[in-house]
Amino acid sequence: MQAGQYYVGDLCYVLGDRWTEVCDLIIDGHKCLDGVFTLSDGTQFGIFSTAYGDGCYTDQEGREYPVDSGSIGCVLVSSITPGELEKACGNLIDIEWNFTPYESDGLIEIAHISIMTDNVEEDEEQDYWIGEEDDV
């Protein structure tokens, strides 16, 4: 994707009038596809499923990303109408180089932004706690 100012967050908030087309592109039967897609109007966006669906996730700098569609993505701010931008619940991020967003094991990487959506440490602590309780 090209360098520029991006909205990073749940795209349902800022692509509302085009959300049906987004869903047509990313939903394949009972499966949601991750990756970079282009709408019929030329708007390019990246979108990735979160490990635990809806909730609020944070990046490496502590910025929050509320999620209601089970996904986090990115789209150029210039591709968002002013009315849609007012509904934004994510963050506006300046990205100074071309990049390829991706997701791996619950970690969504959008240029220099890393958003962990699968907190393994909490899962390990919970499993350990359950194991101890079972021994009592």
Q: What is the pTM of this model?
A: 0.85
H-run or E-run covering 25: helix 19-26
Q: Per residue in 69-118, pLDDT tens?
A: 999 999 999 999 988 988 888 999 999 999 999 999 999 999 999 999 99
